[in-house]
């Protein structure tokens, strides 16, 4: 009996399984001491190699006899049945060296059925181990990604995936990845690995751990296709997450309420009107700057813009908008605020509106058209803006600034958040103030600066929990 042996069995098997596509099969028929064992390997719809085994012991095959003659039709049928359907498959026969036992007859029948199949004599191999190794060594048919959240500059959260292992990666492949975690609930942060089938993500695994908020380095090792071991330094082992995908995704808030990276807070204050009101407005701004500077150390830039009333008097032209501080440190901004507090209210000028539109134009101009990071405009005042043209009893802005248009530009700016504190309560604050307040302005008399800051996404509300890790960009 000649046994073709160009390549050793492990290599030949690995080669054959690797070449398996979605429809093919590799069948290994082992004739060993325990009977005939058949291993059928194919790929599932995600490209995973899978293996089903079946064993028929010799006594069952022999049906009470101790051997067959080669002409035993019944014996031949039983052997072929044990080998199963071999059509269209790459077939390997693995058998011990010929020794005259029923094995020899069985292999002869099998060779007759599949003459092209390769025959290996495998004294020392355990076929099951070989197959396990082939499966573990199988390269990835699809890349493996880690599910992450991306926080947009405005805090919007978007599910995204970043590659862990590329197509073709094999077991033992180790990758490290920087990521960030936000506070999570008791079940922890979910590290979900997905692969892709065409365009659709297919969940490979979800593991979870209670990870402290902050930056971390994740180490991921491809143990085999379908099994990724992840670890984070200083964090207890990740375990199987019992939450399902839908549950996790629905727990993601629309917006991240906590600032990521630096924050530019622009405080605009109306300095005309009753002195007591102006004082109170400046007081609120002081509170806001103080609160945020302690919560966002080294991450807060502050600008301070003061605006008053138009004069509509040729003898007393409007001064430029007072930019008391621009992207200054909180300490510097508080100094500038002191100057405004000392100056107090300006009683002069048009009584029924203020230069809100000029302020918006100045802020818009200073922010420029280039992208800036997270920016918040907090406007504190009372009066409506002047319209750009005759439209009400309120005189038009002499510079023809269009508050609505300017506000739209600011609203549409990536990373921009608006908030306002108005002397007048909600309904009476008017259209412009509703928009300045990002929906509704806070009322000067009732505002809680911390709550407002949280609503504007300047600080985290205590109850926001994020179930996935975030990207670090």
Contacting positions for another protein (CB under 8 A): 312-314, 350-352, 388-390, 392-393, 395-396, 398, 400
Compute φ and ψ for 385, nearest 5 degrees. -80, 170
Q: Report, in Å, the least distance between residue 314 CB and another protein.
A: 6
Name the β-bridge partners of 323: 305
In 368-460, which residue ranges form alpha helices assigned H by DSSP?
403-412, 431-436, 449-455
CB 25 within 8 A of CB 88: yes
Q: Report, in Å, the least distance between residue 210 CB and another protein.
A: 58
Q: Give the Cα separation of 208 and 192 in Å (integer).
A: 8
Sign of CA dihedral 332, 338, 339, 345: positive
Dihedral Cα 107, 112, 118, 124, nearest 10 deg: 0
Looking at the Cβ atoms of 165 and 307, the one nearer to another protein is 307
Q: Give the Cα separation of 122 and 224 in Å (integer).
A: 26
Q: Report, in Å, the least distance between residue 346 CB and another protein.
A: 14
CA 458 to each of CA 120, 255, 288: distance values in angstroms, whole numbers, following the listed order: 70, 12, 10
Looking at the Cβ atoms of 124 and 390, the one nearer to another protein is 390
Q: Report, in Å, the least distance between residue 276 CB and another protein.
A: 13
Q: Report, in Å, the least distance between residue 340 CB and another protein.
A: 22
Q: Looking up tokens 């092209």, which residue turns up?
A: 116
CB 146 within 8 A of CB 192: yes
Q: Report, in Å, the least distance between residue 273 CB and another protein.
A: 9
Largest CA distance in the chain: 125
Closest CA to 4 of 115, 152, 119, 160: 119
Looking at the Cβ atoms of 244 and 352, the one nearer to another protein is 352
Looking at the Cβ atoms of 172 and 351, the one nearer to another protein is 351
3-state secondary structure of 367: helix
Looking at the Cβ atoms of 120 and 350, the one nearer to another protein is 350
Q: Report, in Å, the least distance between residue 246 CB and another protein.
A: 55
Q: Report, in Å, the least distance between residue 397 CB and another protein.
A: 9
Q: Give the Cα separation of 421 and 283 in Å (integer).
A: 12
- CA 265-266-267 angle, to 5 degrees, is 115
Residue 86, both tokens: 């071999």
Looking at the Cβ atoms of 80 and 444, the one nearer to another protein is 444
Looking at the Cβ atoms of 246 and 314, the one nearer to another protein is 314
Looking at the Cβ atoms of 167 and 312, the one nearer to another protein is 312
């Amino acid at each position: 009996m000649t046994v073709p042996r160009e390549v050793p069995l492990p290599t030949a098997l690995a080669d054959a399984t690797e070449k398996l596509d979605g429809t093919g099969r590799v069948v290994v028929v082992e004739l060993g001491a325990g009977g005939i064992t058949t291993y059928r390997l194919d790929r599932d719809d995600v490209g995973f190699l899978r293996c089903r085994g079946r064993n028929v012991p010799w006594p069952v095959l022999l049906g009470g006899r101790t051997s067959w003659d080669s002409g035993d039709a019944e014996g031949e049928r039983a052997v072929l049945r044990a080998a199963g359907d071999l059509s269209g498959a790459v077939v390997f026969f693995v058998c011990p060296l010929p020794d005259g036992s029923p094995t020899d007859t069985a292999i002869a029948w099998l060779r007759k059925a599949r003459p092209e199949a390769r025959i290996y004599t495998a004294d020392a191999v355990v076929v099951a181990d070989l197959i396990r190794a082939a499966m573990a060594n199988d390269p990835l048919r699809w890349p493996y990604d880690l599910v992450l959240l991306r926080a947009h500059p405005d805090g919007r959260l978007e599910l995204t995936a970043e590659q862990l292992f590329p197509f073709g990666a094999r077991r033992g492949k180790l990758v490290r990845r920087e990521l960030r975690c936000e506070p999570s609930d008791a079940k922890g942060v979910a590290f979900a690995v997905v692969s892709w089938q065409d365009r659709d993500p297919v969940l490979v695994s979800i593991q979870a751990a209670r990870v402290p908020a902050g930056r971390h380095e994740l180490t991921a090792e491809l143990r085999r296709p379908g099994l990724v071991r992840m670890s984070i330094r200083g964090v207890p082992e990740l375990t199987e997450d019992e939450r399902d995908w839908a549950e996790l995704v629905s727990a993601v808030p629309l917006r991240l309420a906590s600032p990521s990276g630096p924050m530019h807070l622009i405080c605009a204050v109306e300095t005309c009107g009753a002195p007591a009101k102006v004082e109170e407005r400046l007081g609120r701004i002081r509170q806001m700057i103080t609160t945020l500077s302690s919560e966002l150390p080294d991450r807060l830039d502050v600008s301070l813009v003061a605006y008053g009333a138009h004069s509509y008097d040729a003898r007393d032209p409007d001064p430029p908008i007072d930019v008391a501080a621009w992207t200054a440190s909180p300490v510097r901004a508080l100094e500038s605020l002191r100057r405004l507090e000392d100056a107090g209210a300006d009683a002069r000028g048009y009584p029924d509106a203020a230069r809100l539109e000029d302020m918006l134009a100045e802020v818009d101009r200073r922010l420029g058209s280039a992208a800036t990071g997270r920016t918040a405009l907090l406007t504190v005042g009372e009066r409506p803006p002047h319209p750009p043209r005759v439209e009400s009893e309120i005189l038009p802005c002499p510079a023809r600034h269009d508050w609505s248009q300017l506000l739209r530009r600011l609203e549409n700016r990536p990373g921009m958040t608006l908030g306002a504190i108005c002397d007048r309560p909600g309904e009476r604050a008017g259209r412009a103030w509703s928009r300045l307040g990002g929906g509704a302005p806070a009322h000067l008399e009732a505002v809680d600066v911390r709550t407002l800051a949280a609503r504007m996404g300047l600080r985290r509300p205590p109850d926001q929990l994020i179930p996935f890790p975030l990207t670090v960009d």
